[in-house]
Structure formats: structure tokens, C-alpha cells
Amino acid sequence: MKKRETAEKIAIYRKLFTGLLHVYGTYDPGTGHTRQVKAPFTDRVVYDHLKGYRPYGVYLLVEDRTRAIAVDFDSENRLTVVNFVNKANDYGISAYIERSKSKGYHVWIFFEEQGVSAAKARLVAHHLLKEIEEPRTEVFPKQDETNKKNPYGSFINAPLFGPLVLQGKTVFLDPQDFIPYPDQWTLLESVNKPSETTLNDIIEINSLSFSSPSENPKHDTENGNSRFILPICARRILQDGVSRFQRDSCFRLAVHLKRTGFPSDITAAALKAWALKNKPANGNGVIQDSEIIEAITRVYNKSYTGFGCNTEAIAPLCEPSCPIKQWREKNAVPSKIMEENKAEVR
């Protein structure tokens, strides 16, 4: 590499794969034994990594902030990896696939250079994994913040380690065919970096909860209760009943009530009471208890998350003030999600 090219590559690299600056990880390529290096993270560390002299592992977590997260898919199942990337894209987040040094893939999501809340980034990543039914997949950083007991967190091996690049490993892959991008540096220089606002939006529209209720501003703690606020459309359907689309409405209500943390038996009782408020048009009968139970069973056995905003049952009840509607308009949610929302109740 020419000096100018080397300096440029190191600069690009450090913008993406920098965490703690006073310590980094490494491993023995021969034995695989890992260790921590308590020394400054410098340009020389990056240079040695890219040239293949010594691998570099990044401690992504800096107090409670991170510039990136990496999801470690420890299998050769490409479909799972693509599903995660597509799900992230659905929420307006770009995700990048790296072939790991041994088995499986890492999927990286990069954030603005000042970093984002690691807790929020991890919460969103775990939500995406839950949506694709891979909830046990490991996410780096593994912690929400460092502390006296764990001042470093865990490091993850960084991409583009010299000799492995020649083997097609530790390189970024095109998700269409899993072939390495011909110019890794152009890719890395042009990655999209969502802000913390994007994470906030995703957390809000999905009513995601942190480990501590006080950390989530969407909790309603009135009268000592800890529950999530139902969207306007769901509250109106529960309060007034419906005259059309009973089954679609039942399905959506079950999804929302599950989000709040209600067990299935409480949801069943609520929806049976709701059914008594319905006034079906054209002489149709009220939805049966057996149909309600069937819908609840489907919802609680799978990871349905769509709000159904564009379905015939929900769209007429939509209000401009709804944060879900505002988020969808702001992020121009692809039509594919709308089709998925419709398909869930078929």
C-alpha cells in the first residue's frame, strides 16, 4: 500500500471500528487464543491489523455509548442473515454483512461518530432478532455500559485482517450473492449511520422496554401500574367495538395487548368482553369465543409485530397525532411492510 493510501484507509477504518482508546483485543492466529492488550489504540495498531501482523479486536463500549453494534450469527445459514438485514432495512437502518474469520457471519450497524446509547442500540438489535425468530443470537457490545466490575466490556474481532482477506474472510459481502465487495474501502467510506433519534423512533413505535421500567419513557406508571400505552386506534376499538372487520380488529388488538405484557388469558378475557360491544353490519353475527382464542393463540405463538396501519380495519381510525403514523411518514416505510401487515391476518 502506498503511504497516502494507507493513511486514507486507516482514517476510514478508525471512523468505524473505534471504541476504547486505551485497550484492545487480539488473538493468536495459530492457536486462536485471545488476550487483552493494555496499550493505546493507535494508527499502528490498525496498520498491523490490515497488514496481517497482529489481529485487532475492538472494545465497542465506551461508558454507555457505542459507535457500532455487531450481531454474531454463528452458523452458515445465509437466509437468517439476510432476514436480519432486510428487517433492519425495513426500519430505515442499513446493516452490513461481514464473513467472520471462522464460522458464520457478523452483521454490523454503524452509528453517528459521537455514538449512541448502547442500551438503545442493543434493545433495537434484540428486537430485530426477535422479529426474525433468532432471539438468542449474540450482540456486541454485550453490555449496556461499563462499570467498576467490568470496565472494558467484551471485544469483537475487527474486519479486514490481512491474510484472512485473501481467503475471503473478515470481508464485507454483497447480501444478494454473498460475494465480497470488490472495493471494501468505497463501501466503508459510504456506510449509512443512523442517529439515536432513529433508535428512539423504533423503540417508541414498538413499545420496547428496557430492563428497568424507569428507563423507558413510554411506560404509564399511573396508580403504580407499569404498562405500555396502547395506540389511539386500539383504544378506540376496545372502547367502542366495531361493526366491520371483527376478525382483523381482534387480531390487531391481540398483538397490542401482547405488547403491553398481558398474559394470553387476560387478553382472552378482554377480547371476549370487547366482542359484546360489537354491532356487526348486514345481519352478521358477533365474533365467536373460539375465533378469539384462535387469533390469540396465533399471536402468542409467533412474533407478530405489525400495527396494520394500512389495513381496512385500522386505517379509518388513524389520527394525525399518532406517533406510529408520524414515524411511518417520516421514514417512508416500504410497501413491503404494508403487505406483510396485511398478510399477517390471512
pLDDT at position 303: 64
282: left (phi over 0), alpha (psi -120 to 50) or beta: left
Bridge partners of residue 96, in order along the sequence: 108
Using a CB cutoff of 8 Å and minimum separation of 24, what contacts does 276-279 make? Answer: 276/241, 277/240, 277/241, 278/241, 278/242, 278/243, 278/246, 279/241, 279/243
Burial class (CB in 10 A: 0-12, 13-18, 19+), 296: buried
Closest CA to 310 of 339, 346, 344: 339
CB 84 within 8 A of CB 169: no
Tens-of-pLDDT digits for all 346 residues of the chain? 444 589 999 999 999 999 999 999 999 998 989 999 999 999 999 999 999 999 999 999 999 999 999 999 999 999 999 999 999 999 999 999 999 998 899 999 999 989 999 999 999 999 999 999 999 999 999 999 998 889 999 999 999 999 999 999 999 999 999 999 999 999 999 999 999 999 998 888 887 877 543 333 333 333 333 345 677 888 889 889 999 889 989 998 998 888 777 889 999 999 999 999 999 988 889 999 999 999 999 888 876 656 677 778 888 877 776 766 666 666 654 444 444 444 444 3
Q: Where in the chain are the domains?
A: 3-195, 230-343
pLDDT at position 167: 95
Closest CA to 174 of 96, 106, 110: 96
CB 274 within 8 A of CB 241: yes
52: left (phi over 0), alpha (psi -120 to 50) or beta: left
CB 50 within 8 A of CB 160: yes
CATH code of the region 3-195: 3.90.920.20
pLDDT at position 332: 57
pLDDT at position 309: 75
Closest CA to 60 of 152, 177, 162, 161: 152
CA-CA distance, 256 to 309, in Å (whole number)?
A: 12
- The size of the chain, in residues, is 346
- Other CB atoms within 10 A of residue 179 CB: 10
CA-CA distance, 98 to 81, in Å (whole number)?
A: 10
pLDDT at position 323: 66
Please report how the helices 289-301 and 246-260 are oriented relative to each other, as an axis angle in degrees rounded to 10: 50
Closest CA to 58 of 49, 165, 99, 122: 49
Q: Nearest 5°: phi and psi at 166?
A: -65, -20
DSSP 3-state of 276:
coil
CA-CA distance, 54 to 34, in Å (whole number)?
A: 12
Closest CA to 310 of 292, 325, 330: 325
CA-CA distance, 237 to 252, in Å (whole number)?
A: 10
